[in-house]
Amino acid sequence: MTPRQPARSLSRATVASSRDAVRLELLESYLIHQDDVARCAQSSLEWLARHAGVRRSICLIVDRDPGTLMGVAGYGVPAEDVDLFAWPLADPRDPLVAALSASGNVAIRPARANGEVGRTSAGAPLGAGPFTAIPLRGARERQEGALGLLLLRQAAPVSPDITWLATVLGQKLDQILGRGSLSEEVRKLRRERSLLFTIINSVTDPIIVTDQTGETVLMNAPAEELFTVPSQQEESAERSVQANDAHFSSFISGMLLGETGPGEIRRGEIGLVNPTTSELIPVEAIAGKVLTESGELTAVVTILHDRREALERARLYEQLKLASDGLQARVHAAATELATQNELLRRQAIELEQASRLKSQFLANMSHEFRTPLNAILGYTHMLLNGVAGDRTAAAKRQLQRIDSNGRHLLTIINEILDITRIEAGKMPIQLSAFNVNDVVPEVMAELDPVISRSKLSVAPRLAPDGPLVHSDRQKVKQIVVNLLSNALKFTHQGGIEIAVQYDAPPGTVSISVSDTGIGIAPEHHERIFEDFRQVDDSPSRQYGGTGLGLAICGRLATALGGRITLGSNLGQGSTFTLTIPVDAPQ
């Protein structure tokens, strides 16, 4: 054991001598003649990495105005994290703030923001996990505490070399800083740099800052997605990044070699590729030079604007324009066709109107021509039936009665045709007079008594008590009721018919209803039977005769009197036709 003692003492001496040598090297080579805070701090952190094994560290300086801890140097951490580091001193309970007043080293675990360690955490530049904060003090004790902190990514214990460096660095920084405050020029520069980083990182478009040689010195997160290879990606991602670098470098070379004056910008289109998805991204590159006051080029700022949305809008606009032009052409063609059809319809309407006038004139003339000889036939038949030419046999009388019946039927048809033509021509005269509707019903029943007798149907009147006098055309009202009762007798085989008169004070109307128990009319034919020359059954083999003009004439006469005819009927359940006219017909 004894012989080994001198060897052990020699080893300690050798180690101490070696440690003194490396410390002396730091002092002579990097600290004694240095007057820049950042360089002193950076050299010290690099020395710690070589001789104390500290792989992650950052040096912070107190800036009393505006009261923050600001990063000045770092080792093993991104330079951007150091430049952007600014920790407020407002909360005295904050571990970093408390460490400034501590008498020794402080072990700190990074705070968590929203449950996750983020860049807002004081220890974020050093990564997740505990770190050590060492106060940096000057040669003289000051009441305001340490002038900065040395943050190391390692827990206690702290080696003597680290303690020594913190002491030496604190004294040197105190010497450079004077009273511990940053010079106005350094503060201004750091603030401008911090503002620049904040602005660039707040922009969603990729932004790249290059120096006068075209080398990239700064880019924001969107730009990093295009020009850095994602971790654990295939070779295709690396090829995409290389292609993006080539396209961008070509654009920047054109900017640097081109003759652009101060304030001028250069625009160009670049085809880039998303390294993660291999999706083609067409961008518009907008670059501008940053010049010094003397006009020297210091940097080029380039903004890459994604044109996919603009191109998609342009494509959609073009499609919309084509569709609009096509629609406009179709509308124009349809309008032209419609104008042509309208002109054709106008000419056809004129022709139809002329044909209708000619038809009405023809029917009116022929009706008069038919009625003259027919009246003569009926007159001579009546004379023969009355025995003017002597007695006739029973067989001859039956033949004469048939002639008389068919002649009167033909006269009725001719009168209906004449009436419809006169109504169409607007020449149907309206003779207004005061009369009681109750008096019209018995007259109608008396006129149709022969038909009622042959039908063996019961026809019952139901008159309105104390009905008022009506100011209308008595003959037209009677003609309508006769036609309605004739139809009821024709289409009713058993049961009965009722003629009802009703007065309604408000709104001052009188109605005459003819109800039967006949064959009835299906609802889909209710409007059809009021058309000219139309019947429910238009087939040649129809059971019931007639011209189909009776109800058409009745409807038009009712309209001329200011009234209307309504129908209530179902097939096999009888029908009710109701004539409603105002008490005072319009003039």
For residues 567 and 551, is the Cβ–Cβ distance under 8 A? no
| pLDDT-based confidence at residue 31 (cuts at 50, 70, 90) | confident
Tell me how far apart the alpha carbons of residues 183 and 509 are, in angstroms, rounded to a whole number: 108
Report the CATH number that the domain containing residue 454 is assigned in CATH: 3.30.565.10
DSSP string, 402-432: HHHHHHHHHHHHHHHHHHHHHHHTT------
Tell me how far apart the alpha carbons of residues 473 and 324 are, in angstroms, rounded to a whole number: 62
Classify residue 2: in a domain, yes or no. no
For residues 100 and 146, is the Cβ–Cβ distance under 8 A? yes
Tell me how far apart the alpha carbons of residues 496 and 134 are, in angstroms, rounded to a whole number: 123
Domain check: are 404 and 286 in the same one? no
Tell me how far apart the alpha carbons of residues 422 and 479 are, in angstroms, rounded to a whole number: 15
Tell me how far apart the alpha carbons of residues 216 and 209 are, in angstroms, rounded to a whole number: 6
| pLDDT-based confidence at residue 548 (cuts at 50, 70, 90) | low
Contacts of 339 (CB under 8 A, 6+ apart): none
Q: What is the pLDDT of residues 457-495, one digit of tens each?
A: 999 999 988 777 899 999 889 989 999 999 999 999 999
Report the CATH number that the domain containing residue 229 is assigned in CATH: 3.30.450.20
Q: Which two tokens stand for residue 132?
A: 């050590």
Q: Which of 2-16, 251-265, 271-285, 289-303 has the highest mean pLDDT?
A: 271-285
Which whole-number Å values give the CA distances from 76 to 60, 81, 360, 467, in the listed order? 15, 11, 112, 116
Residue 71 has pLDDT above 50, yes or no: yes
- From 397, 422, 447, the end of a domain falls on 422
Residue 238 has pLDDT above 90, yes or no: no
The pLDDT value given to residue 34: 77
For residues 575 and 504, is the Cβ–Cβ distance under 8 A? no
| pLDDT-based confidence at residue 395 (cuts at 50, 70, 90) | confident
Tell me how far apart the alpha carbons of residues 28 and 37 are, in angstroms, rounded to a whole number: 16
Q: Which of 180-184, 224-228, 248-252, 572-576 has the lowest mean pLDDT?
A: 180-184
The pLDDT value given to residue 116: 39
Classify residue 324: in a domain, yes or no. yes
Q: Which of 167-171, 193-197, 263-267, 360-364 has the lowest mean pLDDT?
A: 360-364
| pLDDT-based confidence at residue 533 (cuts at 50, 70, 90) | low
Residue 545 has pLDDT above 60, yes or no: no
| pLDDT-based confidence at residue 113 (cuts at 50, 70, 90) | very low
| Average pLDDT of the residues in 409-437 | 78
Identify the three-state secondary structure at position 518. Answer: coil
Domain check: are 329 and 300 in the same one? no
Report the CATH number that the domain containing residue 124 is assigned in CATH: 3.30.450.40
- Strand 564-569, strand 509-516: pairing: unpaired
Residue 540 has pLDDT above 60, yes or no: no
| Average pLDDT of the residues in 207-217 | 85
With CA atoms as reference, report the closest residue to 360 among 420, 315, 403, 300. Answer: 420
The pLDDT value given to residue 180: 42
The pLDDT value given to residue 345: 93
Domain check: are 183 and 224 in the same one? no
The pLDDT value given to residue 364: 67
- From 395, 422, 449, the end of a domain falls on 422
Higher pLDDT, 487 or 186: 487
Residue 23 has pLDDT above 80, yes or no: yes
Q: Tally the domains of the chain.
A: 4
Classify residue 218: in a domain, yes or no. yes
Kind plus residue range of the DSSP H or E element containing 239: helix 235-257
Contacts of 562 (CB under 8 A, 6+ apart): 581, 582, 585, 586
Identify the three-state secondary structure at position 568. Answer: strand
Residue 161 CA neighbour count, 13 Å, CB half: 21
- From 169, 190, 211, the end of a domain falls on 190
Domain check: are 140 and 210 in the same one? no
The pLDDT value given to residue 84: 80
Q: Which of 245-254, 421-430, 470-479 has the lowest mean pLDDT?
A: 421-430
The pLDDT value given to residue 506: 81
For a pLDDT cut of 90, what percent of the chain falls above it? 29
The pLDDT value given to residue 148: 92
The pLDDT value given to residue 505: 82
Tell me how far apart the alpha carbons of residues 91 and 89 are, in angstroms, rounded to a whole number: 6
Which whole-number Å values give the CA distances from 89 to 71, 423, 521, 582, 586, in the listed order? 14, 106, 100, 99, 100
The pLDDT value given to residue 526: 85
Classify residue 246: in a domain, yes or no. yes
| Average pLDDT of the residues in 372-385 | 82
Residue type for 259, please?
E
Which whole-number Å values give the CA distances from 99 to 12, 94, 104, in the listed order? 34, 9, 8
| Average pLDDT of the residues in 73-88 | 86
Classify residue 197: in a domain, yes or no. no
Tell me the residue ranges of DSSP E strands in 419-495. 433-435, 458-462, 470-472
The pLDDT value given to residue 579: 95
Report the CATH number that the domain containing residue 396 is assigned in CATH: 1.10.287.130
Higher pLDDT, 365 or 347: 347
Residue range of the domain that includes 364: 312-422
Residue 398 has pLDDT above 80, yes or no: yes
For a pLDDT cut of 70, what percent of the chain falls above it? 84
Domain check: are 222 and 353 in the same one? no
Domain check: are 471 and 521 in the same one? yes
The pLDDT value given to residue 512: 94
The pLDDT value given to residue 386: 82
| Average pLDDT of the residues in 338-344 | 93
Tell me how far apart the alpha carbons of residues 366 and 310 are, in angstroms, rounded to a whole number: 80
Evaluate the CA torsion angle 311, 315, 320, 322 in order and state its sign.
Answer: positive
With CA atoms as reference, report the closest residue to 105 among 61, 67, 68, 137. Answer: 137
Domain check: are 445 and 521 in the same one? yes
Residue 306 has pLDDT above 80, yes or no: yes
Classify residue 519: in a domain, yes or no. yes
Residue 527 CA neighbour count, 13 Å, CB half: 1
Q: Which of 89-93, 312-316, 475-479 has the lowest mean pLDDT?
A: 89-93
| pLDDT-based confidence at residue 140 (cuts at 50, 70, 90) | low
Domain check: are 547 and 413 in the same one? no
Domain check: are 245 and 273 in the same one? yes
Kind plus residue range of the DSSP H or E element containing 71: strand 68-75
Classify residue 195: in a domain, yes or no. no
Classify residue 196: in a domain, yes or no. no
Domain check: are 561 and 472 in the same one? yes
Quick one: how far is CA 58 from the chain centroid?
A: 55
| Average pLDDT of the residues in 548-570 | 88
- List the helix and strand counts (H, then E) for the chain: 14, 18
The pLDDT value given to residue 408: 77
Domain check: are 57 and 100 in the same one? yes
Domain check: are 80 and 150 in the same one? yes
Mean pLDDT computed over every residue of the chain: 81
| Average pLDDT of the residues in 76-101 | 86
- Token look-up 């860049």 returns 119
Q: Which of 225-234, 259-268, 422-431, 494-503 has the highest mean pLDDT?
A: 494-503
The pLDDT value given to residue 232: 67
Q: What is the pLDDT of residues 154-165, one digit of tens each?
A: 755 788 889 999
Contacts of 152 (CB under 8 A, 6+ apart): 48, 54, 56, 57, 126, 131, 132, 134, 158, 162
Strand order in the sheet with 458-462: 458-462, 496-504, 509-516, 575-582, 564-569
| pLDDT-based confidence at residue 2 (cuts at 50, 70, 90) | very low
